[in-house]
Amino acid sequence: MTLELNMVEAITRGLSQLLEEDPAALLLGEDIGANGGVFRATAGLQDRFGPERVIDTPLCEAGFVGAAIGMCLVGLHPVVEIQFDAFVYPAFEQLVSQAGRFRWRTGGAYGLPLVVRLPYGGGTRAPELHSDSPETLFSHVPGLRVVVPSDPRSAGELLLAASRCGDPVIFLEPKRMYRRGRQAVPPTFVEGDLDHAVVVRPGDDLTVIAYGAMLEVAEGAAERLAQEGVSTRVLDLRSIYPLDRESLLQAAEETGRVLVVHEAPRHCGIGAEVAALLQEEVADALLSPTLRVTGMDLPFPLSQNEDDALPSVERVLAAAHAMLEY
């Protein structure tokens, strides 16, 4: 038996499974109880698991992320919901100065089983500070894992894995994909693989690396390129930190051209890291420079201009053509 779920329903189901299977798991956040969260990702969970496991907090991201760190010390496995990407910034100090350092600070003895869920990214015509893509900030912080699912199934599976991996995970949910479409998922999620990228479309001429909502853009471009006779591999990165080095090197070696797509600003983005890695390790295998199609180094534009900043199929195609003609 399978279910047809969209991403936000799959997240609800993943959280529900987590609460069922792990008595130490609990959810914390603003308006996640009766309201079910601003995106309804926790809809019905408080009714089912009670107000001591699905907890509405006061408005205090630093406070409840910090409290979640303390909860880990008494054996709990908190999953924190931040309402929107940019609302995590007040908790930045707790994540950077505290969560990421805790295992190191105990000589490796004690890690924090903490997940911070972060609906992120643009394309939803939201107000200012509701569309940021802050993955680079967190991937630069030692001790944090940064994970991005791209579809309903990976959202459920990676969420389970994140809570069980024993280290703090920034779990970025591409909110624009929340209700994009349904996918068949098993009634019970298996724990996902946090360490590996996934080839979602095989190809030999070019690899497009993307994650989150940009997978859809990458696949759209790959489809168009196929019509032109170009075989495009699409790699869903999934883990932003650590990176799946083997899959990246393999893509470069087997296709010779690697293009990275992300909606976060370009400067010091994941694309830069991938390009640096490839030129350091497999420069001789590259048939073209590695290009990046990314968001701009701008505060994410207000809704009328957001499409100007977001990577599109057309921008990816233009970059791909340039690489193929190099």
Partner 1 sequence: MGTPPKLTGAPPSSARGPAAGAPGAELLEGAITVLGLPEPEMVAALSSWPRERALDLFTAIAQLRAFDERAVILQRQGRIGTYPTFYGEEAVQVASVRALQNQDWLFPTYRQTAVATLRGCPPLVPLLMWRGHPGGWHDVMKYRVAPICVPVATNFPHAVGAAWGAKLRHQELVALAYGGDGSTSAGDFHEACNLAAVMGAPVIFLITNNQWAISTPVSRQTKVRRVAEKAAGYGMPGVRVDAFDVFACYQVVQEAAERARRGEGPTLIEAIGYRLGPHGTADEPSLYRDQIADRLWEPMEPVRRTRLALVAAGLASEEELNQILAEAAAELRDIGDAVESCSPASIQEIAGSVHRETPWELLPEGLWEPTWTGRGDAGGAP
Measured CA to CA, the distance from residue 24 to residue 289 in angstroms comes to: 48
Q: Is 262 a catalytic residue?
A: no
- Tell me whether residue 113 or residue 311 sits nearer to partner 1 (CB atom): 113
Q: Which of residues 169-228 bind partner 1 (CB under 8 A)?
A: none
Which residues, in sequence order, are bridge partners of residue 184?
4
Residue where the block lists tokens 């008494």? 74
With b for 16 or more beta-carbon neighbours within 10 A and e for fewer, the 214-243 pattern comes to: bbbbbbbbbebbeeeebebbbbbbbbbbeb
- Tell me whether residue 103 or residue 262 sits nearer to partner 1 (CB atom): 103
- 133 and 120 Cβ atoms separated by less than 8 Å: yes
Query: Of 130, 196, 262, 321, which one is the catalytic site residue?
Result: 130
- Amino acid letter, residue 125: R
Measured CA to CA, the distance from residue 323 to residue 326 in angstroms comes to: 5
Residue 159 makes contact with partner 1 by CB under 8 A:
no
Q: Which of 107, 127, 187, 229 binds partner 1 (CB under 8 A)?
A: 107
**Least distance to partner 1 from the beta carbon of 79, Å?**
13
**Which window, 87-95, 153-161, 196-204, 313-321, contacts partner 1 (CB under 8 A)?**
87-95
111 burial via Cβ count (<10 Å: 0-12, 13-18, 19+): middle
- Tell me whether residue 107 or residue 127 sits nearer to partner 1 (CB atom): 107
How many residues touch partner 1 under the rule CB under 8 A: the total is 51
- Tell me whether residue 77 or residue 201 sits nearer to partner 1 (CB atom): 77
Residue 238 makes contact with partner 1 by CB under 8 A:
no
Map residue 61 onto helix, strand or coil.
helix
Q: Which of 63, 256, 289, 301 binds partner 1 (CB under 8 A)?
A: 63
- Tell me whether residue 178 or residue 211 sits nearer to partner 1 (CB atom): 211
Provide the pairing of β-strand 3-5 with 183-185.
antiparallel
Enumerate binding residues for partner 1 (CB under 8 A).
26, 52, 57-58, 60, 62-76, 78, 90, 93-94, 97-98, 102-111, 142-143, 145, 165-167, 241-243, 245, 280-284
Catalytic machinery residues: 130
